[in-house]
Structure 1
Amino acid sequence: MDDKDRQIISMLQNNGRLPLSRIADIIGFSVMGVKKRVEKLESKGLMHVRAMLNVEKLGINLAIIAMEMENAEAIENVVEKFKECPRVLRFFVTTGAYNLFAIVIAEDYHTLESMSLERCSLRNQKGIRRFEIYPVQDVFYSSFFDIGVIPKKTREDAPCGVFCGECTRYRAERCVGCPTTVYYRGVL
Structure 2
Amino acid sequence: MVMDKKDRQILEVLQQDGRIAHTRLAEIVDLSAPAVLARVRKLEEQGIIQGYQAIVDPASVGNPLICYVGVTLVHHQREPLQQVSARIREFPQVLEAYHLTGSTDYLLKVAVPSIQALENFLMEELTIIPGVDKVHTSMVLSAIKTNGVVPVEVGEESSNGYHVMGNGR
Deviation at 1:85, TM superposition (A): 2.6
Residue matched to 2:76:
71
Partner of residue 19 from structure 1, selected from 18, 21, 31:
21
Deviation at 1:37, TM superposition (A): 0.9
Provide the TM-score with structure 1 as the length reference: 0.68
Taking the aligned partners of 1:116 and 1:84, their CA distance within structure 2 comes to 14
Residues 87-102 of structure 1 correspond to what in structure 2 (within 5 A)?
Answer: 87-102=93-108
Extract unaligned runs of 5+ from structure 2: 149-169
Residue 144 of structure 2 corresponds to residue 140 of structure 1 = yes
Change over 3 Å in CA distance of 1:2–1:55 after alignment to 2: farther
Residue 131 of structure 2 corresponds to residue 127 of structure 1 = yes
Deviation digits for residues 13-45 of structure 1 (CA, Å, limit 9, x no counterpart)? 111111111000111111111111111111111
Taking the aligned partners of 1:84 and 1:6, their CA distance within structure 2 comes to 34
Change over 3 Å in CA distance of 1:107–1:81 after alignment to 2: same
Provide the TM-score with structure 2 as the length reference: 0.75
Taking the aligned partners of 1:75 and 1:133, their CA distance within structure 2 comes to 20
Residues 35-184 of structure 1 correspond to what in structure 2 (within 5 A)?
Answer: 35-47=37-49, 48-58=51-61, 60-69=64-73, 70-72=75-77, 73-118=79-124, 121-142=125-146
3-state DSSP class of the match of 2:90?
coil
Deviation digits for residues 126-161 of structure 1 (CA, Å, limit 9, x no counterpart)? 1011111212111112379xxxxxxxxxxxxxxxxx
Do the aligned residues in 2 keep the contact of 1:62 with 1:135 (CA within 8 Å)? yes
Residue matched to 1:174:
none
Taking the aligned partners of 1:109 and 1:51, their CA distance within structure 2 comes to 26
- Detail structure 1 runs of 4+ shifted over 6 Å in the superposition: none
Deviation digits for residues 75-99 of structure 1 (CA, Å, limit 9, x no counterpart)? 2111112323321122211221111
Aligned length in residues: 142
Which one scores higher on RCO, CA 8 angstroms, separation ≥ 6? 2
Deviation at 1:56, TM superposition (A): 4.9
How large is the RMSD of aligned CA atoms in angstroms?
1.9
Do the aligned residues in 1 keep the contact of 2:88 with 2:97 (CA within 8 Å)? no
Identity score, percent: 27
